A and B are shown apart, each in its own frame.
Chain A
């Protein structure tokens, strides 16, 4: 399947540190999105990067995309306890606005 896979599955860091999580996918894409999910809640869209972009910033978030390696990374700088959540990458299916969601990285930020 084209499902993205995040790495690591779980990450635990101290508040103030940076958190990096990676996403790998299998076939060509038009865009890749990152979402966040707090426990027991729905997903919240964080950032979208198109296949012709290599890097994108939004506040404390930095996303990179390497289409040659079929991978993306999400960097959260100066992490806060409130960043504790699961983070998912989503790649488009080339059929309308549908996506494959990865299995997620569970991030714990320790105060």
Chain B
């Protein structure tokens, strides 16, 4: 079945530690996105990529980094510079061009120990 797989489902981070969240898609989509969702709030865009080896900052990129070495994969690293990393992280993908619905993974919940 085609879809987006995020792993792990739950992740714990110690203070000062970097962690990497995985996102893999087999939908052959060119565009991929990372969002952060806090309780009672909407989604906020962290980074997005329209093509391999290229990505742009979203609204809240500080303290995060990404790479796009393969079309299928768009890992997100939460660095120690992100002072409030506890959140639900969602990865999405879509075809490029305007007016394309986004397909989401089931998220990774990151907590601080």
Spell out A's residues near B (CB within 8 Å). Answer: 3-4, 30-31, 33, 40-45, 48, 50, 88, 92, 96-104
Contact A97 B42 (CB under 8 A): no
Residues of B within 8 A of A97 (CB): 31, 94-100, 102
List residues of chain B with CB within 8 A of the CB of A44.
Answer: 104
Number of interface residues of B (CB under 8 A): 31
Residues 73-113 of chain B, each 1 if its beta carbon lies under 8 Å from chain A, else 0? 00000000000000000101011111111111111010000
Question: B-side interface residues toward A, CB under 8 Å?
Answer: 4, 6, 31, 33, 35, 40-45, 48, 50, 58, 90, 92, 94-107, 109
Complex Cα–Cα for A40 and B65 (A): 24
Give the complex CA separation of A97 and B58 in angstroms.
Answer: 12
Residues of chain A within 8 A (CB-CB) of B43 are 43, 88, 101
CA distance A85 to B82 in the complex (A): 30
Q: Is A43's CB under 8 angstroms from B104's CB? A: yes
Note all chain B residues with C-beta closer than 8 A to A101.
35, 42-44
Please, how many angstroms separate the alpha-carbon atoms of A45 and B100 in the complex?
Answer: 10
Residues of B within 8 A of A92 (CB): 98-99
**Cross-chain pairs A/B with CB under 8 angstroms, 10 sampled:** A31-B99, A42-B4, A42-B90, A42-B104, A42-B107, A43-B92, A48-B99, A88-B43, A97-B96, A97-B98
A99 engages B107 (CB within 8 Å): no
Q: How far is the CB of B57 from chain A (nearest CB, A)?
A: 12
* CB atoms of B104 and A50 under 8 A apart: no
Residues of A within 8 A of B50 (CB): 96
Contact of B105 among A42, A50, A88, A100 (CB under 8 A): A42
User: Would B102 and A45 count as touching, CB distance under 8 A?
Assistant: yes
